[in-house]
Amino acid sequence: MLNSSLHTRRQAALPRGLSSAVPFYAGRAENAELWDEEGNRYIDFAGGIAVLNTGHRHPKVVAAIAAQLERFTHTAFQIVPYAPYVEVCERLNAMAPISGPVKSVLFSTGAEAVENAVKIARAHTRRPGIIAFAGAFHGRTNFTMTLTGKVAPYRQKFGIGAPGVFHLPFPAPSHRVSVEDSMRALMQVFRADIAPEDVAAIIIEPVQGEGGFLPAPIELLQQLRSIADQHGILLIADEIQTGFARTGKMFGIEHAGVEPDLITVAKSLAGGMPLSGVIGKAEVMDAADPGGLGGTYAGNPLACAAALAVLDIIAEEGLVERANHIGARIRSTVEKVAQRNDAVEISGLRGPGAMVAFDITSAGQPDAGLTRKVIEAARREGLILLSCGVFGNTIRILNPLTISDAMLDEGLGKLESALIAAMNP
């Protein structure tokens, strides 16, 4: 069997630190469907971890990549610049929820975007400190794993990380943490660990991704903006998972009406091609000296071509509005299952737009083991699901926004079956 053979080869060739959510290997994919190497069909409710808002192999993305492939594949923008890079930045600048002049710079990965946002913030403020939140996920590099507010598995065995980073508790009812608790913790950091005058930036996800799809309360974002303004601190919105229509807005922070100084983007920006970026106020973005920003593959021309197609698709197919429609259908299904006596215990249904999640509990307590059973049951049904959360008991749904209603309903039917089967093995 191909899957078994590939797994044997993988064990011999790859380190065990690189894990996968499923035991099969991709053969081909189209929009919201994926077939493994043995021809088994799955509906994809993972979307490559929020990368595929426009689905697998959207025809316009494929055509854009093919057309760029005929022209050139690489020059390094720092050596020979090219139009698609400029065009992507112009498009990002125009749509960013930031008033006044805006500029952007492109990279390859989300972690690169976050690291460079911090570099830019430090260059602008001439300060070292960064404040992040428990439960946050900002990347896996040495510095971004320091920002990430979850030890296992992202920081375990890798040392203490970079200096100058301080974490606050993230407000969420399931964690019994309020906005007031978070703000008191911030004041304590200012008293005990670092003066506000030494803090360059506060970084926050408008909806925590790996942390459990926990929306940042509007009042928290408002208070952070006020404190940042008071002390000359920059506010960075990490929109790597929330961006590009996923939450029913182009950017997740738009739900709060709060303007960040910098925005990090990646994932769904380029429809599966590696592309990320930092968008920000022009005066802040210009703080780095010439040569201080860049990367060999940063803003790759094939990825830029894909991104321009993605931005067209989001507008032409109304994916911002589509996210809200999809989210309503998901919530309706989960609410219905939650009323059943023969399904797993469900709580905490949440998330804006199509960034929906819920918790699996037993007698009101997080149950990571039962959550794994749900995911395994879904796989047997032909549905790819992901978990997340600091307790490992959150089911998150990240299906493409281009999914048809019929396929969405088919996938939700498989989800319902899995939530029942996990209680009745």
Instruction: Give the C-alpha separation, 331 to 324, whole Å.
Output: 11
In terms of C-beta distances under 8 Å and separation of at least 24 residues, what long-range contacts does 339-342 make, across chains too?
Answer: 340/420, 342/420, 342/423, 342/424
User: CA distances (Å), 158 to each of 14, 116, 155, 310, 416, in order?
Assistant: 19, 21, 5, 36, 39
pLDDT at 91 over 90: yes
Do 72-316 and 2-57+318-421 fall under one CATH topology? no
pLDDT at residue 350 in the model: 97
Is residue 119 very low, low, confident or very high in pLDDT (cuts 50, 70, 90)?
Answer: very high
pLDDT at 424 over 90: no
H helix runs in 232-287, sequence order? 282-285
Instruction: Give the C-alpha separation, 214 to 372, whole Å.
Output: 20
Residue with tokens 């960040």: 260
Backbone angles phi, psi at 289, to 5 degrees: -75, 160
pLDDT in tens, 189-225: 999 999 999 999 999 999 999 999 999 999 999 999 9
State the CB neighbour count (10 A cutoff) for residue 1.
Answer: 9
Domain ranges of the chain: 2-57+318-421, 72-316
Is residue 130 very low, low, confident or very high in pLDDT (cuts 50, 70, 90)?
Answer: very high
Q: Mean pLDDT, to the nearest integer, of 270-288?
A: 98
Give how far the C-alpha of residue 35 lies from the chain's centroid of Cα atoms, to the nearest Å: 24
Instruction: Give the C-alpha separation, 358 to 174, whole Å.
Output: 11
Is residue 118 very low, low, confident or very high in pLDDT (cuts 50, 70, 90)?
Answer: very high
Give how far the C-alpha of residue 292 lies from the chain's centroid of Cα atoms, to the nearest Å: 26
CA geometry: angle at 342 spanning 337 and 344, to 5°? Answer: 65
pLDDT at residue 159 in the model: 87
What are 39's strand-pairing partners? none
pLDDT at 150 over 90: no
pLDDT at 86 over 80: yes
Instruction: Output the pTM of the full model.
Output: 0.97
pLDDT at residue 168 in the model: 98
Is residue 356 very low, low, confident or very high in pLDDT (cuts 50, 70, 90)?
Answer: very high
Q: Please provide the CATH number assigned to the domain covering 72-316.
A: 3.40.640.10
pLDDT at residue 155 in the model: 86
Is 310 within 8 Å of 61 (Cβ atoms)? yes
pLDDT in tens, 376-387: 999 999 999 999
Give how far the C-alpha of residue 108 lies from the chain's centroid of Cα atoms, to the nearest Å: 15
- Give the tokens for residue 104: 């952007």
Give how far the C-alpha of residue 401 lies from the chain's centroid of Cα atoms, to the nearest Å: 15
Q: Tell me the three state secondary structure of residue 422.
A: coil
Q: Given 3.40.80.10, 3.30.450.20, 3.90.1150.10, 1.10.132.20, which CATH number is that of 2-57+318-421?
A: 3.90.1150.10
Instruction: Give the C-alpha separation, 132 to 120, whole Å.
Output: 16
Instruction: Give the C-alpha separation, 412 to 418, whole Å.
Output: 10
Q: Mean pLDDT, to the nearest integer, of 236-257?
A: 98
H helix runs in 290-367, sequence order? 301-316, 319-338
pLDDT at 15 over 90: yes
pLDDT at 425 over 80: no
pLDDT in tens, 19-78: 999 999 999 999 999 999 999 999 999 999 999 999 999 999 999 999 999 999 999 999
Averaged confidence pLDDT in the chain: 97
Q: Is the dihedral of CA 95, 96, 100, 105 positive or negative?
A: negative
- Give the tokens for residue 139: 């990347």
CA gyration radius for the chain?
A: 21
pLDDT at residue 8 in the model: 95
pLDDT at residue 161 in the model: 87
**Which of 101-115, 161-175, 408-422 shows the lowest mean pLDDT across its residues?**
161-175
Closest CA to 169 of 208, 214, 135: 135
